Amino acid sequence: MSTPPPLPQRPGTRGYAIAGVLTALAVLVAVVVAVVIGRAVAGYDITPIPAGQDVTITIEDRDIALWVAPEMSSGTCSSTLEGTQTSTLGSGTADRITVTDGGLTWARVGIVEGVPGSSHTVLCSDVGDVQAFGFAPNPRIGRYVVMGLVGGGIAGLLLLAAFIVALVTGLRRSRRPGPA
């Protein structure tokens, strides 16, 4: 009994496999970037602080953002280095950004700036339309914008490379005579 001859293979299928791998890598890069950014945004918790009462906040690894809800309310906050009258409240690089946490949309009203380990006295005042004040580590929005742009760029380049490899493979295969 003889073995059957091997089935003829179409030339040039390796390029399609490479294009498939490049596409899978592009999807993987996009998913990883989306998960990292999503976890950072979803894990952002604002700690409520009472209006009209001094609260002591200690800076850890980054400055502290002060928030007011709802986002269009007109509450204000002040911050001083504990034990001094030195103001430590800055506006940050963006005038007012918003986040959603606990069913409320919060607007950033300022950033308590200082060195790690420094304690600050914060006082927030309600003008009448404020539901809540709060604080949390200042979000690193620039970092996530850059990460999204770089990740999107890498994914786009991988997809472009996959398209070019598949196109070249298809053109080469169309010019070769197939098996008879």
Sheet holding 119-125, edge to edge: 55-58, 119-125, 76-81
pLDDT of residue 5: 67
Lowest mean pLDDT among 19-23, 70-74, 117-121: 70-74
Question: What does the alpha-carbon distance between residue 121 and residue 112 come to, in Å, rounded to a whole number?
Answer: 10
Kindly state the helix (H) or strand (E) to which residue 157 belongs, with its residue range: helix 141-175
- Residues 22, 1: Cα–Cα separation, whole Å: 44
Higher pLDDT, 73 or 156: 156
Token representation of residue 78: 């002040």
